[in-house]
Amino acid sequence: MLITCYNPTELGDILLVVLAADVSEQRVSQKNNIIQFSDSVSGQPIGYNILHASELLPNLTGNGRIQLNNEQLQCLNAALQQAGFNTEVKFDQRPRFVVGLIEKLEDHPNSNHLHIAQVQVEDQHKLQIVCGAPNVAAGQIVVVAEPGAMMPNGEIIWPGELRGVASAGMICSARELGLPNAPQKRGILVLPADEYQPGTPFDLAKHQAVK
């Protein structure tokens, strides 16, 4: 998984590189202009802060989550190797916002308002997602933020548990997706079944631009 964020106005000339979810016990080390965050238990890197990033990566621009091009990715890996970090980051272009079909819905055993949804996404793959929206129902076509998705507010979606039940992803509301004229109340976005096919990417930028 590779998530890269660049916001020079707010953070300065720092590229944030996220490879995995945060852990409670982290080890932090710095070499040259690169700070590595790793899991203290497994030793696996979970992310990097690249200082003076525009000096390392050519034509680095953006404000928020960005997609590095091939040249920038090569420069990033070269900088990591030169600094002595034995890590190679790779492209992860799989869409994280997809259209899903809620195939099954059941009550959460430890909650009076949460539900456990079995959601079909791409390639007939299914995700179990705990959802508390009041309008969620089986048979709906919805927008799913899969693990690794970055929401418009900067939150990254990771697998986890809600009241003891595993949940991998989020069924999204229009407000959470930052869509124009989104209702300012609780409730997931339900898509027209005749316009959206389960398993297809949901182009968030395109829908955000619609007025």
Beta strands in 55-193 (DSSP E): 64-66, 97-107, 115-120, 126-131, 141-145, 160-162, 165-167, 170-171, 190-191
Is 198 a residue whose pLDDT tops 90? yes
Nearest to 202 by CA among 163, 156, 159, 145: 145
Say what the pLDDT of residue 211 is: 62
Say what the pLDDT of residue 1 is: 79
Q: How much is the average pLDDT of 193-199?
A: 93
Q: How much is the average pLDDT of 78-107?
A: 91
Is 207 a residue whose pLDDT tops 70? yes
| Chain segment 45-92, per-residue pLDDT in tens | 999 999 999 999 999 998 888 889 999 999 999 999 999 998 889 887
Say what the pLDDT of residue 136 is: 96
